[in-house]
């Protein structure tokens, strides 16, 4: 099978030679993994040696230079100052001082989609040939909307000033919806999978009530998903933490795959999830990064990989990856190799 055939087969109820592999990591970890594999470059390590089946091409920022600071902090197109590892944490909230919707409309402008180039070049298409191409935006409009006012204030405003919250969320949503629309329009038939990320869960529960999620975010999520499906894509959503309460909603609005299955969060037991939802979606991840991949031996990593595949892969609808979308440099490279190597062995056995 080609990588693309294998990746899409699990969505279409077709048999596969092994479960498809997905990979997401910090650049520093990928460099570490490449060195461990003794590969000539990252592509050889990921796609030839390990056998990752997906390649990702996102819209590229082409707007004005964004402000940077001497300590490494930077400002985003949303006007939020961020600091810390990789994308970091929000250090400023542009709308924190505004309590009135008219003030927000007067003083804040949402980013213009023209600051991104959505085209996928002929060279990029050739690079992704025979792989499942992930395209469109990451569309983290839950995070962007909450960070503009600050999460605590924003969540309170959902009850106190819902009109203001709705305006902010809509502005963030429309930015990503338009970028996705342009992506599909300019690259017809090129994108195979639409994979977006919004962390709605904490370790214990949803960050907002299911009712508030359904009021403010579900209808907009549905529009993003439907647009992708109208353009021939399978769809997946990333959400860390405990999200069991809204998995039926995600399935209802057309989400085909759910990532990353953070198995050490409350109410995210893979056996329970499989019994309740395994016939209706592809599970995508679930091999614990917080403890197993980070701290355990190769033998323990292999055992956990087999356990997760036995559970989440029991209906033949599974994508192999860690329980987080961004592997960090602190993780031993040998454990990631062990995870994928064991997945090749046990998925082949499971699929006989």
- Please state, in angstroms and rounded to a whole number, the distance separating the CA atoms of residues 285 and 339: 11
pLDDT higher than 70, residue 351: no
Three-state DSSP at 30 gives helix
pLDDT higher than 90, residue 330: yes
97-136 pLDDT, tens digit per residue, is: 998 999 999 999 999 999 999 999 999 999 999 999 999 9
Tokens read off for 12: 């279409």
Tokens read off for 289: 């990064």
Q: What is the dihedral of CA 276, 280, 281, 285, to 10 degrees?
A: 20
pLDDT higher than 70, residue 165: yes
Q: What average pLDDT score do residues 152-158 get?
A: 97
Tokens read off for 63: 């707007």
Look at strands 89-90 and 81-83 and give their pairing.
antiparallel
Beta bridge mates, 140 = none
Which distant-in-sequence residues (6+ apart) come within 8 Å of 48 by Cβ?
Answer: 39
28-67 pLDDT, tens digit per residue, is: 999 999 999 999 999 999 999 999 999 999 999 999 999 9
Percent of residues, the chain, with pLDDT higher than 90 = 96
Q: Are 200 and 206 in contact (CB under 8 A)?
A: yes
Determine the pLDDT at residue 300.
Answer: 98
DSSP 67: P
252-299 pLDDT, tens digit per residue, is: 999 999 999 999 999 999 999 999 999 999 999 999 999 999 999 999
pLDDT higher than 60, residue 348: no
pLDDT higher than 70, residue 81: yes
Q: Are 199 and 258 in contact (CB under 8 A)?
A: no
φ, ψ for residue 320, nearest 5 deg: -80, 125
User: Where is 236: in which H helix or E strand?
Assistant: strand 234-238
Per the listing, tokens 């062995």 go with: 345
Q: Are 134 and 54 in contact (CB under 8 A)?
A: yes
- Please state, in angstroms and rounded to a whole number, the distance separating the CA atoms of residues 42 and 30: 7
Look at strands 81-83 and 74-75 and give their pairing.
antiparallel
Tokens read off for 96: 């924190």
Highest CATH level, class, for 3-59+118-136+191-350? alpha beta
Determine the pLDDT at residue 85.
Answer: 76
Determine the pLDDT at residue 346.
Answer: 84
DSSP 331: S
Look at 296 and 325; give whichever has higher pLDDT: 296
Domain ranges of the chain: 3-59+118-136+191-350, 61-113+139-171
pLDDT higher than 70, residue 350: no
pLDDT higher than 90, residue 185: yes
Lowest mean pLDDT segment, chosen from 156-170, 308-322, 334-348: 334-348
Full DSSP string of 241-270:
S--GGGHHHHHHTT--EEE---TTSTT--H
Question: Whose CA is closest to 317, among 289, 287, 351, 344?
Answer: 351
213-255 pLDDT, tens digit per residue, is: 999 999 999 999 999 999 999 999 999 999 999 999 999 999 9
Per the listing, tokens 């639409």 go with: 194
Which distant-in-sequence residues (6+ apart) come within 8 Å of 187 by Cβ?
Answer: 118, 119, 120, 135
Q: SS3 helix, strand, coil % of the chain, rounded to 5?
A: 45, 15, 40
pLDDT higher than 60, residue 352: no
Determine the pLDDT at residue 118.
Answer: 98
pLDDT higher than 90, residue 137: yes
């Amino acid at each position: 099978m080609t990588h693309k055939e294998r990746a899409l087969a699990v969505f279409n109820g077709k048999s596969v030679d092994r479960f498809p592999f997905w990979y997401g990591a910090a650049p520093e970890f990928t460099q570490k993994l490449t060195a461990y594999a003794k590969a000539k470059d990252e592509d050889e390590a990921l796609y030839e040696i390990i056998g990752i089946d997906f390649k990702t091409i996102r819209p590229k920022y082409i707007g004005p230079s964004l402000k940077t600071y001497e300590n490494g902090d930077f400002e985003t197109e949303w006007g939020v100052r961020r600091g810390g590892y990789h994308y970091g944490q929000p250090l400023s909230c542009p709308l924190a001082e505004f309590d009135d919707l008219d003030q927000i409309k007067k003083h804040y402008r949402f980013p213009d989609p023209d600051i991104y180039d959505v085209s996928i070049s002929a060279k990029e298409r050739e690079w992704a040939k025979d792989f499942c191409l992930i395209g469109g935006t990451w569309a983290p409009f839950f995070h962007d909307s909450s960070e503009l006012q600050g999460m605590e204030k924003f969540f309170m405003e959902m009850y106190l000033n819902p009109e203001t919250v709705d305006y902010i969320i809509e502005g963030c949503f429309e930015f990503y919806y338009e970028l996705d629309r342009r992506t599909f329009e300019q690259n017809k038939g090129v994108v195979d999978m639409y994979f977006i990320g919004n962390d709605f869960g904490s370790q214990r529960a949803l960050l907002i009530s299911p009712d508030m999620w359904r009021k403010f975010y579900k209808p907009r999520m549905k529009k993003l998903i439907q647009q992708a499906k109208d353009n021939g894509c399978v769809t997946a959503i990333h959400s860390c933490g405990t999200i069991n309460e809204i998995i039926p909603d995600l399935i209802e609005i057309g989400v085909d795959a759910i990532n990353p299955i953070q198995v050490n969060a409350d109410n995210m037991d893979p056996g329970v999830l499989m019994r309740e939802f395994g016939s209706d979606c592809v599970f995508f991840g679930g091999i614990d990064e917080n403890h197993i991949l980070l701290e355990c031996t190769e033998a323990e990593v292999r055992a956990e990989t087999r356990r997760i595949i036995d559970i989440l892969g029991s209906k033949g609808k599974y994508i192999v990856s860690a329980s987080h979308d961004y592997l960090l440099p602190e993780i031993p490279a040998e454990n990631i190799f062990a995870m994928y190597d064991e997945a090749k062995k046990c998925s082949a056995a499971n699929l006989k």
